[in-house]
Chain A
């Protein structure tokens, strides 16, 4: 039995990334020369383990709107805050303070009152005042109306203090930096991982995705290679705005590396025999 070599790439060549498109909202890239497990790990980390900052505690001083406190609190939690500097903020569980301090949290205040007759006043994320200029509700230019929190009629007022904390989406979806992560491999289904069910015609009923343009179509008389493994992965990461898309990917890599090195550390220091065990089978 061959011992597991411990490399994270399949062909021996180093993993590569080719960026196809990069805007403020999304990044499209192709990851090559690595295992499916690595690619998927990257995807999972981007969704669930890239730390961001989100409102976690809301203290209501006054709420005379028609919406209930917990309803507004829930809405506040989902507002994306600028988390580019999230790394500089501590997890509050790792902070030495009791509760919340400057090191591990950001305070945002909201105080809106509707004074005008016969109009509805919108309370938006623009009304949130942060005490830390690094962490503010995201805003797409000065014309962006902001994210609606509540609507007020005359005499109604909301006054709340929000504590934003650093966290990961494993705990609550509000800490997720991405909207959706598109992930695809083998658009021509050469590996036959999926079995197409067809009514009449496979090509007509199973249109290939755009990624197929960047992949290598099967030759007319190509023989099915049952040893082939996926090694070309098409990603598209869309941010919710709290982070630049490239940062999400970079942070995810960092996190991934951390995880791998901790495994590696564990293997080398504690259990030498472990590496001689059976290599993990593919799922």
Chain B
């Protein structure tokens, strides 16, 4: 490979091109389009377009469109899963490839000698998703059928298994409970704009939430605060092969305090399985480096006096141990319990050093040398920090974070389950061999272990073994949110940091600088999970990982890497090359190596998601290819020009679509950067800024004052502080930093930041149309707006999120006005006539479901129409609407208490049912009734059977919800409110044109919340409605209030959106002018109908005889402690007694005056007596709460007798 030399000489010194000089060009790697483009200067620059923008905003959006066209919104989920299926699975199988059993030869039952010793797993085979019906037939399964029949959308997985010496191949069906829904055609209706990215487990859709963790194989150096005995800590979480296990190795620098001399600061190492920390010196010796000079050299302290001073004390520690054997014995002693022979101890120490000590460098003894070098490197990092020569590491840096997506999570799970299966199998094999039975593959391989394990974890979200549910991570798999389409998309891009929620640590919750472009700055929940639950930005890409070998080969091919490093003073002076945290060599020409690698990456020789970092300061080139790094695409800038620009000019005569994403990537116009690599990039905010910088730098370099920036777009963004020609990248568009729901906010760049966060949360509760096939779905609850409208004021991103196609809201005419006072404290006034005409009307669909069950031999839950004569516990008249099959028919109006699905269970002869049971009654009622306080029409009925041919019925009930007083609404700016009153239109204020607002919000909602975006949306909405366009409110663009105002003025309106309005009652002008215009409003799912509740009398708890709790049980409202306190302080004792006693659980009880215990009473006969006291004359009647009486009885049951001594 040849490289062109620096060609700076070929430039003439002129303002136009002098800053293009001094630039390296690796022309041999130039891609197709570039190679035929004449890069050579004069011709290129004579166009004189340096003062023009390289790429227009429209073209930027074309690039973004092609990104979404190619990758969609949920690509990370699919990529990760595909990687697991294609490589991950096979890797796991290969790791557990063989089971070898050492056993004595035996004779099998046929008298033959057998010699079974191995079981080998080989290739994998998948089939399409299928289901085995109860009659044994195997049917192709489609997602929609899986959803409706509560099946698992899964495909069988086969592993070729070889057994014994006979090497007889037997295909063994194994199982895999996973599949994603992609490119699948369903016999019913497919979700038209659905893109999958989730699993279907027992009919419910499950998302795997990405789990955030700290990167493996990265050294972190932290400072410890005084109470800790250590001043500094260097830590590495080293992962073994394929990242399936992690071992932490820690170096600790003792703090100066304590009984040690100030100069003596030892370094101790913590190695897994060692009970005590050991001095590093001993570790070096154990690794075969015993010479002190060598150690100093490894640390890089030899030529540096200050450094040597710092290292010296720790070399003194453990001075007695001089030989490797002694060192290993020392280590072994600390790993085992005493009394184990020395040889074994040493062997153990060796094994620990091989397998448990920084295993990512290698797990055999050959890597001893590398480990010693790495140890030296690590000590160097620790000491550099302690000397203040290197900054401490930031635990929250996003470049040091990894996301475990579906693939990684499943691979962990599968690995555990497969190991478990192999373990169980081994035990069984041993047993069979011991019993000298022939080994039957079908019998020993328990494929159900994997099937059930996967189903358990995906079904419950508890990641790991069912038996250890408490320790495992919970909430990894969640039921896919189907409230609004945006909420579904957002759910599929969520990631979670498993940090304890309770702790008061706030740092991991903060928005970090490095989150820019990777994590949405607005979309995070409030409260406990704030900042821990994150959402990916729109263009964030999560690396899937690729093999190191190819990259290492390429590095070697450059000839720039010295991998045969030896102990010499050089090692820390040259640049270290680290590949995924392992030190693979050094180079003396770091810039050339770095540029070469970059070119290789751009030219597509490597996977494009590899990150190459040239850390000049710490003299390291770090290359990462591991999965889970979050990357984002950026324009590549070369010579202060976008690389894409050069081909743009040429592409006019080419038919090829230059904006095709693949094309952009493979031509190196666009590059993925992760947060680590971004740290060493200089990124320009916009192509316009780049142009300004280019022009400015050109002027400055010839000593001229740069021209003042013309009045152009983005005046809002900061002017560059200095002009430079060192840009390496340029943002595609700054609005891509936002996530799914934040991208639906118009003008978010004008709002106070928490308002965007509130809206990001509320957007998920807005009702609209969550899926185009909602009529064939059976979601538990679903809301559909009658007439969803696409917003007048849109953002560009809505196109990719399909918000225009599946909107959630109405363009309401909103006036900001105090009118009659029914919109105080975040309530809103709504126009009754608009509501009459269908504004914000919605359907609510509620699904009820019932399955048949077989319990034992006799007992059977059956779906049938129960009759009064043979069913216990059936309320009269409730089953009338049922068809003969026991399910209501579609179209039937139903009200509360009506049975929707009749179900009974057989009664055994012993069941007396508390005496309720009649002679001929053989069933007990288990029917599903309509929820309390609800009514509606039966919309849809599905009757199917599950895998075991058990019947199941699903009934969907539909009802219309008309907006009423108390329903909740919100704009897209975190401005929520409930309806305070509905005014008829003649009562509403109106403009001279007769425009009547749909909603009146209170002006007090604006100043303290600073939701300026709300006002601009309204203003733009007004303009747009007058001109008949769609308004663009994408953040960080050139729309200004002035530009809107001037256009409104032209149209004969008040430029600031104000209008004179008239009082609807009197017709008189309102004194104040009113800000009025169309604003997009959302109806939120919280409606009074679902919350309104009151009770006078009602059901009581059987045990305590106190009113039950909860609205859906018609329960009482608790008169709690604080309310009690109030009554006490008011002195209203009688009222208090009424609340707590008369209205709760009053009880009459007879008490013996002599012993104070309960007495017998037969009121009708007038007999009262205490049998213990033989007293039938002195019995008193007391009123006490039933709960109190019960307490007394409970006390009596444990031999404590509470006595009531009564005063008369």
> Are B992 and A183 in contact, CB atoms less than 8 angstroms apart?
yes
Contact of B843 with A205 in the complex, beta carbons under 8 Å: no
Closest Cβ neighbor of B1066 among chain A residues: A283
Residue of A nearest to B987 (CB): A44
Given contacts A205-B1056, A209-B992, A283-B1063, A193 and B1068 within 8 Å (CB-CB): yes
Contacts of A207 in B (CB 8 A): 1049, 1052-1054
Q: Which residues on the B side are within 8 Å of A40 (C-beta)?
A: 1062, 1065-1068
Q: DSSP majority for the B interface? A: loop
Whether B986 contacts A173 by the Cβ 8 Å rule is no
Measured CB to CB, the closest approach of chain B to A80, in angstroms, equals 12
B1054 in contact with A206 (CB, 8 Å): yes
Q: Is the CB of B833 within 8 A of A176?
A: yes
Which of chain A's residues 40-82 have a Cβ closer than 8 Å to chain B?
Answer: 40, 43-44, 47-48, 66, 68-71, 74, 78
A47 touching B986 in the complex, CB below 8 Å, given contacts A70-B960, A78-B837, A173-B837: yes
**Which residues from 180 to 211 on chain A have a C-beta closer than 8 Å to any C-beta of chain B?**
180-187, 189, 193-197, 199, 204-207, 209, 211
With beta carbons under 8 angstroms apart, the residue of B786, B939, B1062, B1070 that contacts A183 is B1062
Interface size class of A (residues with CB under 8 A): 35 or more
In the complex, A47→B843 CA distance in Å? 29
- Given contacts A47-B985, A207-B1052, A236-B994, whether A283 and B1073 have CB atoms under 8 Å apart is no
Q: B1039: shortest Cβ distance to chain A, in Å?
A: 19
Q: Is the CB of B1073 within 8 A of A194?
A: yes
Task: Please tell me which one of the listed residues A69, A180, A194 contacts residue B994 in the complex, with CB atoms under 8 A apart.
Answer: A180
Q: Are B838 and A74 in contact (CB under 8 A)?
A: yes
**Residues B832 and A173 in contact, CB atoms below 8 Å apart:** yes
Residue contact A44 to B986, C-beta cutoff 8 Å: yes
Asked if B1069 contacts A182 (CB within 8 A), the reply is no
Taking the closest CB of chain B, its distance from the CB of A272, in whole angstroms, is 28
CB closest residue in chain A, given B1053: A207
B1049–A180 CB distance below 8 A: no
> In the complex, what residues of A have CB within 8 A of residue B1052's CB?
207
CA distance in complex: A184, B992 (Å): 5
CA distance A193 to B985 in the complex (A): 22
Given contacts A47-B986, A186-B1069, A194-B1073, contact A204 B1056 (CB under 8 A): no
Contact A68 B843, CB 8 Å, known A194-B1071, A207-B1052: yes
| Cβ–Cβ contact A68 & B992, under 8 A | no
Q: Which of A69, A189, A282 has the most CB of B within 10 A?
A: A69
Q: Does B627 contact A (CB under 8 A)?
A: no
Which A residues are in CB contact (< 8 Å) with B891? 69
Interface size band for B: 35 or more
Q: Is the CB of B958 within 8 A of A68?
A: yes
B992 to nearest A CB, angstroms? 4
Q: Is A106 an interface residue (CB 8 A)?
A: no
B993 within 8 A of A: yes
Cβ B1049 vs Cβ A204 within 8 A? yes
Cβ of A174 within 8 Å of any chain B Cβ, yes or no, is yes
User: Is A170 close to B, CB under 8 A?
Assistant: yes
The complex places the Cα of A172 from the Cα of B836 at a distance, in Å, of 6
Whether B1067 contacts A37 by the Cβ 8 Å rule is yes
Which residues from chain A contact B1069 at a C-beta distance below 8 Å? 185-186, 189, 193-194
Contact B994 A182 (CB under 8 A): yes
A149 at interface, CB cutoff 8 A: no
Distance in angstroms from B718 CB to nearest chain A CB is 27
Q: Which residues of A contact B994 (CB under 8 A)?
A: 180-183, 236, 238
Inter-chain CA distance A176–B988, complex, in Å, is 15
- B1054–A194 contact, CB under 8 A? no
Across the interface, A39 reaches (CB within 8 A) one of B1054, B1067, B1070, B1072, namely B1067
A36: CB under 8 A from chain B? yes
Q: A43-B986, A70-B960, A196-B1073 are in contact. Are A174 and B836 (CB under 8 A)?
A: yes
Let me know if A205 and B1054 touch, CB within 8 A.
yes
Judge if B521 is at the interface, Cβ distance under 8 Å: no
B796 close to A (CB within 8 Å): no
Residue in A74, A173, A236 whose CB lies within 8 Å of B833: A173
Q: How far is the CA of A169 from the CA of B833 in the complex (A)?
A: 8
Q: How far is the CA of A68 from the CA of B786 in the complex (A)?
A: 10
B1186 at interface by CB-CB < 8 Å:
no
Would you call B1067 and A43 a contact (CB within 8 A)? yes
Known interface pairs A173-B836, A194-B1060, A197-B1073; A36-B986 also in contact (CB < 8 Å): no
Name which residue of chain B comes closest to A238, CB basis: B994
Residue of B nearest to A178 (CB): B994
A69 touching B937 in the complex, CB below 8 Å, given contacts A43-B1067, A173-B836, A184-B992: yes
A-side residues, CB < 8 A to B, are 36-37, 39-40, 43-44, 47-48, 66, 68-71, 74, 78, 169-170, 172-174, 176, 180-187, 189, 193-197, 199, 204-207, 209, 211, 234, 236, 238, 282-283
Query: Can you list 15 contacts pairing A with B, beta carbon distance less than 8 Å?
Result: A39-B1067, A48-B984, A48-B985, A68-B843, A68-B939, A68-B960, A169-B984, A173-B832, A174-B836, A174-B837, A183-B990, A194-B1060, A195-B1073, A196-B1073, A238-B994
Given contacts A197-B1058, A207-B1054, 6 further A-B contacts (CB under 8 A): A43-B1067, A68-B958, A173-B836, A195-B1072, A197-B1073, A211-B992
Sorted nearest first, the 5 A-B pairs with minimum C-beta distance are A40-B1067, A180-B994, A173-B836, A173-B833, A193-B1069
